[in-house]
Amino acid sequence: MRRGMMILCGMLLTLGTFSCDDEKKEENPPVEDTAQPEDNVQQDTVIPEDQIDQDIPGEDIPEQDIAGVDTVLTGACLSESDQATLAAERDAITAKARECGLGCLNAVDKVACAVPCITAAHNISDGCAGCYAGIIVCTVDRCLTDCIADAASEACIKCQEDQGCTPEFYTCSGLIEE
């Protein structure tokens, strides 16, 4: 039995966890933890008290839907100027929006890219042009296969309606569906 205890004490000594004195069975003093924090463990961040109530950068940026049109934008085409231009040029504006939207497919912000293209050709506000660009981007993002051959096809129109492109356009523009 004593021999078994000596072997066990020898193993514990090797590990540095116990003393093998018969009279004293004390733990060795604790070893200081020198382990480095793992890279994937989030460390607590202490924010200085004078910065706690400061605004968060970007907090005032409006949310955007998938098409990139501000979700809070409604009635963007209801000004007298936009209404007059749309009354005379609505089909041409729609065609130009399609051209401009398709020309901006590689842009990071497709709607922002298409707006100046539309407003350069037609005297409508940026907000109204954004609604027109938004439906084009939405259609490309959500209905490309149904609309690529013919944007006026029944399948394309149904997809635009079902996927929210048409309702988003009418909410954004404030126009009444024809």
Across the range 2-6, mean pLDDT stands at 42
Q: Encode pLDDT of 9-63 as tens digits.
A: 444 444 444 444 444 444 445 555 555 544 444 444 444 555 444 443 333 333 4
Measured in whole angstroms, the distance separating CA 163 from the mean position of its chain's CA atoms is 19
* Alpha-carbon gap, residue 90 to 88, rounded angstroms: 6
Report whether pLDDT(164) > 60: yes
At 13, which amino acid appears?
A: L
63, 86, 61, 67: which is closest to 130 by C-alpha?
67
Confidence of residue 74 (pLDDT cuts 50, 70, 90): confident
SS (H, E, C) 26-87: CECCCCCCCCCCCCCCCCCCCCCHHHCCCCCCCCCCCCECCCCCECCCCCCCCCHHHHHHHH
User: Is-contact 77 174, C-beta < 8 A?
Assistant: yes
Return the CA Rg of the chain: 34
Confidence of residue 6 (pLDDT cuts 50, 70, 90): very low
Q: Is 60 helix (H, G, I), strand (E, B) or coil?
A: coil
DSSP state letter for 37: P
Q: Is 70 helix (H, G, I), strand (E, B) or coil?
A: strand
Per-residue buried b or exposed e for 37-46, using 16+ beta carbons within 10 Å of the residue's own CB: eeeeeeeeee
Report whether pLDDT(173) > 70: yes
Mean pLDDT (the chain, rounded): 75
Q: Encode pLDDT of 79-132 as tens digits.
A: 999 999 999 999 999 999 999 999 999 999 999 999 999 999 999 999 999 999
User: Is-contact 143 159, C-beta < 8 A?
Assistant: yes
Q: What is the pLDDT of residue 5?
A: 42
* Alpha-carbon gap, residue 125 to 93, rounded angstroms: 12
